[in-house]
Amino acid sequence: MRKPLLTAAAAAVSLALGLTACGSGPDADSGTRGGAEGGTLVVGATAVPAGEVLTYIKDNLAQKAGLDLEIKEFTDYVLPNTALQEGSLDANLYQNEPYLDDFNQSKGTDLVPVVKAYLPPMGVYSKKITDVTKLADGATVAVPNDTTNEGRALKLLASKGVITLKEGAGTDASPADIGANPKGLKFKELEPAQLPRSLDDVAAAVINNNYAQDAGLSPTKDAILLESAKDNPYANLLAVKRGNEDDPRVEKLARLLTSADVRKFIEDKYQGSVLPVVSG
């Protein structure tokens, strides 16, 4: 059964031990929050690609830009936002705008986007087939169980005609919004981080980019269906708590994230598995 975003918080607590930090700077509770231009900017991120992009900036660009950057890596999609709302992070980088909007609505947070940085295309993966249109009748497909990513996964399947969605189905589409399902596919709703491990048990799984890469899957080589960047609303963005959009440190990071240097890093490192959004 679909798991609403709100209920994911309890499960996320158990993942707190998976949080790791890299970089230098004060502890998250040391009081550098609040926009002091000379203070360390603490940014939360999932490891791939956000953590890697931020590490490139920290190691190669931040000092010249006058930015002291600390990166805290998370293993889930809930804690980076709750930590940002509570003030133990200054910003985060890992989510798209539909997810952020849903999170704000369901959790009562007040987080806002600053700039879009890159698109990690969601993909369909399988150990059993090489063409998503060849799914067998009655096959089981695993999809993310949070509101926005599940809707995104279903739209991706619908783009190939595997299913259709009812008219008006939005970013929060669920299996209840499926119109035609000619193959009688069954949908298994799982925590996003569990999807790569489900590939032995299901016909296919629709997996977020970062979790696919964490599991050693290459979106460009292993996905049997991959999102297009054209008119895609799911670019990952730098987010802050409302009121901190004009923090000079945040503005510096926003400029670096959309710079020519970072664009080249993304193009060279990911070879199409992650796509830059804005050219420098």
Amino acid letter, 139: A
Architecture of the domain defined by 123-226: 3-Layer(aba) Sandwich (3.40)
Q: One digit per residue, pLDDT tens: the chain, 280 residues?
A: 455 444 333 333 333 333 333 433 333 343 345 444 569 999 999 998 999 999 999 999 999 999 999 999 999 999 999 999 999 999 999 999 999 999 999 999 999 999 999 999 999 999 999 999 999 999 999 999 988 899 999 999 999 999 999 999 988 899 999 999 999 999 999 999 999 999 999 999 999 998 998 899 999 999 999 998 777 889 999 999 999 999 999 999 999 999 999 999 999 999 999 998 854 3
Distance of CA 210 to the CA centre of its chain: 7
Q: Check: CATH 3.40.430.10 for 5-121+233-276?
A: no
Residue 9: per-residue pLDDT:
37
Sign of CA dihedral 195, 79, 21, 45: positive
Cα separation, 216 vs 224, in Å, equals 15
Residue 126: per-residue pLDDT:
98
Residue 171: per-residue pLDDT:
86
Question: Which H or E element spans position 256?
Answer: helix 248-257
DSSP letter for 113, please.
E
How far CA 153 is from CA of 19, 67, 219, 258, in Å, comes to 26, 37, 15, 27
The domain locations on the chain are 5-121+233-276, 123-226
* Contact criterion met (CB below 8 Å) for 274 and 118: yes
Q: What is the pTM of this model?
A: 0.72
Which two structure tokens, joined as six digits, stand for 36?
């002091």
Do 5-121+233-276 and 123-226 share a fold? yes
Residue 229: per-residue pLDDT:
77
* Contact criterion met (CB below 8 Å) for 49 and 120: yes
Residue 12: per-residue pLDDT:
38
